[in-house]
Structure 1
Amino acid sequence: MEDTTFFYSSVTLLFLIFVFKLWFLPTTLRRKNLPPSPRPSLPVIGHLHLLKHPMHRTFHDLAKKYGPIFSLRFGSRLVVVVSSASAAEECFTKNDIVFANRPKLLMSKYLGYNYTTLTQAPYGDHWRNLRRFTAIEVFSSNRLNMFLSIRKDETKRLLEKLSRSSSQGGFSKVELKTMFSELTFNIMMRMIAGKRYYGDDVEDEEEARRFRRIMKEATSYGGASNPGDFLPIMNWIDGGDFKNKVVSLSKRVDEFLQGLVDEHRIKKAGLESTNTMIDHLLSLQESQPEYYTDQIIKGIILVLLLAGTDTSSVTLEWAMSNLVNNPKVLKKARAELDDQVGQDA
């Protein structure tokens, strides 16, 4: 009985010490020069109680009250929210090195090949090499022009799909979010591996279903999906369930990507000519095998799929939303397209 009482007393004391350090620590000992912050910041959870969906409106309301730059405490993590275009530009130009690192989250470790991908690697030589590679070998004008026909074809397919929807009796409601997502995934996968996994002309339906399941799960776990990243005690309460799911997902992702790399390696050895990003990466591997390992190649592919698709589709979705909400701008854009492209294109 006495041992039990001592145990609970010790746990309570440790908890009170933790709360004291987090909440009652004198302001002179806290970080200085932080942007304005809402009060109160609650013990343990900080400002997590303020977050409500849709998130962008919550941040907009806070920005109206505290200014374009404000700070929040998400559990044990400090977050600075920048909602001004000019301030955001300054963050990523004049102060780009300051903001170059990313927080070490659970997803970053297991789905980011132990923090070695472009989006998760710490600032340093390895990160600079990956950034240089993507700038020259992926996003250069020459490389993008090589895949122009793919972008044209996928855009044409989308327009034809929209046309079929509208021809079924006048106006019809369409769900553009899914269409834009499928558009960007098909463009990216055709550039990476020469394959379509959504819509028509899918060569291997089982492989496509497997890809779609993996990507859906990966995007659902992305961002701030793990409470334990902000409230470490949740990792103990969770019993490792979230971690086990992420580890399982990372193994399936790695297996799928390795299959793509091996498939193109076999084709390349058999002198079967293809012109995809994987083929180019394998050529670089032949000249620099010590750096362009299979893990680096898979990491580059994964970043292109996760970071290069959702951002593009969301941008298109918001662009369409803003056009619909601004009829004058929409009318001007339509007139410009009719004038420059024509209605019969």
Structure 2
Amino acid sequence: MRSRLQELSFNIIMRMIFGKRYFGAAVDAADAEVGRQFREVIKETFELSGTDPGDFLPALRKVMDFKGRERRMVDVAKRSDVILQGMIDELRSRRKRRDGGQEVESKTMIDSMLSEGYSDDIIKGHILSMLSAGTDTSAVTIEWAMSLLLNHPEVMKNALAELDDIVGQDRLADEVDIHKLPYLHNIINEALRLFPPAPLLVPHESSEDCTIGGFNVPQGTMVLVNAWAIQRDPKVWDDPTSFKPERYEGLEGDHAYRLLPFGMGRRSCPSAGLANRVVGSALAALLQCFEWERVTEEPVDLLEGMGLTMPKKQPLEAMCKVRECMIANVFAQF
């Protein structure tokens, strides 16, 4: 499911940014090729975002370029710039077309930023930030959530019951429904607790001398917060390695300081709300539209792979079929 979920999250973000899909049967060849190239750029960007010895021993940068890293970074930046500039130019030309004397407008992010007078470079920076930070992280979270649900069919059954009760079976769940589904939110929170997409939060810097856990931290020290360890700490969480969405019931204010997949405070992830909506909408649609089963009787493995977004070591495989009620009530409308 990994590749499908990555394409899904990419399409969702791109619909908001540009108003077009880049993956799927209805996408033309040119757009599909752009989507493929951009996915490669994002993948390589993540690979290059890791550390190398030169990050800790700057003197080494003067004598060697580890695996051609700097050269690759320049190449990725150039390829990304060409793709993003093409998107902006296409949307700018689309805005200049007139229909009955009125300028044709859409409600995409690029449209809004062009209307506000932002430069192309600023727009490209925002687009790249959203795609880099919002696609793989969302896809990874959905994959972990589905893996946990497949291993806990009773939880999946409860989530489906909530969807049928709140949304019904005659339409698909929409963004306005997501905040009305507390059990679905509990599932997402528990998946983020056990498998945060950024197990080590983005680096911070201590603003003054302080003591943390008995260690003296001088001002200006790079600080890495281990969210994975904090969210599995038995001193903070009851039965911390178990998947229990029910643990959040009635704890809206109490658990906030303990659950920090997006960081905390002024330096927390600014796209936390967007991520929750993307993951919530996608997970709701997957549960509402399909019946899911494991490919074998064995539980889905939950081994963690290496990477900035901590993917599953083995991509998730699952069996699904369309729910009969959705065929009769929803899909028949299309």
The normalised TM-score by structure 2 is 0.44
- Asked which structure has the greater RCO (Cα within 8 Å, sep 6+), the reply is 2
The structure with the larger Rg is 1
Please report the TM-score for the alignment, with normalisation by the length of structure 1.
Answer: 0.43
Which structure dedicates a bigger proportion of its chain to helix? 1
